[in-house]
Amino acid sequence: MTLDLKHLQSFIRIVEFGSLTRAAATLDVSQSLLSRQVRQLEIELGTHLLERNGRGVVPTDAGRELVEHGRGILRQVEVARLSLGQSRGVYAGKLAIGLPPSVGSTLTVELVMRFRERYPQAQISVVEALSASLLEWLQLGRLDCALLYNPAVNANMRFRHVHSEELNLIGSTRDGHTMPESVPLATLGQYPLIIPSPLHSVRQLIETDAARYGVGLDIRLEIDSVRSLLDLVERGVGYGVLSRNALLSRRGEHALRAAPIVMPQISTRLVVATPTQRPTSPITEKALEIVDELIAEGRLDADR
């Protein structure tokens, strides 16, 4: 059995759009051609891959499995092509890197500028999302690498620690309010909290340490957007628990202040993640070298 890579790529695009019509328009081919390509894949694999519903098409169980494997296959082919180009001294191709929002707000612009200057024949795509989403997209082959906060052990990923940040209680000094110099973890339950949903690595870290030391938390709101969370904190709705680095996204004057959580400190771990099941392309390695440069320059240090 031999799979046509073009057919495989078309099938993945159909599943992503959930529509033959939209996929055909994006690929600039006819819908009938896409239908024939899918049918050819089904004949070669001996199973149905798509089912129609009222809104378009959805993959069968076999179709979903083909998408997962197919993304990895296409990525490995791309890595091989880029490696051959790199052996001739040319860094080219496409790179997709994922960054958590708090990291993206300080690294994305400089990362893109340096990458474009050094590797003009290559393309970089930066995706900002929560670590849980970035990890999922890494495993599905949508990203080549990502920076993640506090990931659990995962046999499918290589993790390299690059930075640590202490968590702080963040509050507003409007209307005469003040912030303490530091906040013992035992007293954290006295503050009405606005924190991310359980999918957010910071939320998991806070709840784990609070439970370990028998501290009950007063969670008033769950907000995943760091910007919106800080807006609410500044208006006095509650307090946030984030790294001081999160305050770097605030432009101009603001009334937000951070107090470190102590006894004990709670620290986040930022790691570079790459999939073990796929080789890391030369251009991905070059992008991660730039990330290391930026971190070494203190771009993630709130007190710089």
> What is the CATH classification number for the domain harbouring 98?
3.40.190.10
| 229-255 average pLDDT score | 87
Say how many domains are in the chain.
3
Decide which of 72, 105, 124 is a domain's last residue.
Answer: 72
**Residue 264: Cβ within 10 Å count:** 11
User: 218 in a domain, yes or no?
Assistant: yes
Task: Check whether 84 has a pLDDT greater than 80.
Answer: no
- Any domain includes 111: yes
The secondary structure of 231-293 as a DSSP string is HHHHTTS-BEEEEGGGGGG--S---EEEEEEETTT-EEEEEEEEETTSPPPHHHHHHHHHHHH
| pLDDT at residue number 257 | 93
State whether 142 and 278 are in the same domain.
Answer: yes
Residue 303 in any domain: the answer is: no
Last residue of a domain, one of 27, 48, 72: 72
CATH number for the domain that contains residue 219? 3.40.190.290
CATH number, domain of 25, equals: 1.10.10.10
pLDDT in tens, 253-263: 889 999 999 99
The model's pLDDT over 15-58, given as tens digits with 9 standing for 90+, comes to 888 888 888 887 888 888 988 998 988 888 889 999 988 788 89
How many degrees, rounded to 5, is the angle at CA 250 between CA 249 and CA 252?
135
Report if residue 67 sits inside a domain.
yes
- Same domain for 200 and 214, yes or no, is yes
Report, as an integer, the average pLDDT of 205-209: 91
Tell me what the mean pLDDT of segment 270-278 comes to: 90
Q: Is the pLDDT of residue 232 over 50?
A: yes
pLDDT at 304: 46
Phi/psi at 277 (5° precision): -85, -5
Query: pTM for the whole thing?
Result: 0.67
Give the pLDDT mean for 166-175: 92
Tell me whether strands 183-184 and 256-262 are parallel, antiparallel or unpaired. Answer: parallel
Share of the chain above pLDDT 90, in %: 45
Looking at residue 238, its pLDDT comes to 96
Angle at 232 between CA 226 and CA 236, to 5 degrees: 140
pLDDT score at 5: 84
Residues 249, 212 share a domain: yes
The domain in which residue 38 lies consists of 5-72
The model's confidence at residue 94, banded by pLDDT at 50, 70 and 90, is confident
pLDDT higher than 90, residue 124: yes
pLDDT at 302: 59
